[in-house]
Amino acid sequence: MHSLSTSFILGYHGCEPDIGEKLLRNEQFRPSKNAYDWLGSGIYFWESNPDRALDWSRQQLIQRQSISAAALAPFVVGAIIDLGFCLDLVSANGLSAVEATYSDLQNTFQYSGDDLPQNSGGEDFLNRKLDCMVVNYLHQVREESGDLPFDTVRAVFMEGERLYPSAGFRRKTHIQICVRNPECIKGVFRVPDRHFSAKGI
């Protein structure tokens, strides 16, 4: 929860080609507001990882299983992002803030008699309803208290198969950025083919 990180990073946003072309013409990104978003509501980017953005875009098209989606190619837009005031979940301060927020939220739900949502979706917790609620609640509490709002949220996710037996490294490990303040997106660019690996992910 600080501005100590390197301020400017390159982020990569997977999307459909028509949306990507609009973004390259300086149309606004649309924030994601799903109940299962990993870092709460905002605009999502893969930090320094165009291959993962491409893979995510490809998987979204496959999941739709429609003729129109099958005819589309996955697309990635690059962006220059100023992290600004960042809720950085790679830092002790950021993690402590989220942990304390969970305790407050848990007390609220216990008082009301309701059950907190849970993360689900296998070992990687692909459906993160609890995490999403906790992060969004942290933003809400800060807003209601008049505290400085976070511009971005940043976290590392260990995801995918192990690279080899008992490895501590996983195939889809990545850093994800959730931009809450669109002013932090300083520019967008078309990603050159040479920036992608030969085989992708």
3-class state of residue 10 by DSSP: strand
Instruction: Look up the pTM and report it.
Output: 0.92
Q: At what angle do helices 92-112 and 129-145 cross, to 10 degrees?
A: 100
Beta strands in 56-131 (DSSP E): 75-82, 86-88, 119-120, 127-128
Per-residue pLDDT 10s for the chain (201 aa) are: 555 556 899 999 999 899 999 999 999 999 999 999 999 999 999 999 999 999 999 888 888 766 565 567 889 999 999 999 999 999 999 999 999 999 999 999 999 999 999 999 998 999 999 999 999 999 999 999 999 999 999 999 999 999 999 999 999 999 999 999 999 999 999 999 999 986 544
Q: Are 155 and 149 in contact, with CB atoms under 8 Å apart?
A: no
Pairing relation of β-strands 119-120 and 8-15? unpaired
Question: What are the tokens at 154?
Answer: 């940043």
Please provide the size of the chain in residues.
201
DSSP letter at 42 equals B
Amino acid identity of 163? L
Domain ranges of the chain: 8-192
Dist. CA 174–CA 51, nearest whole Å? 11
Amino acid identity of 195? H
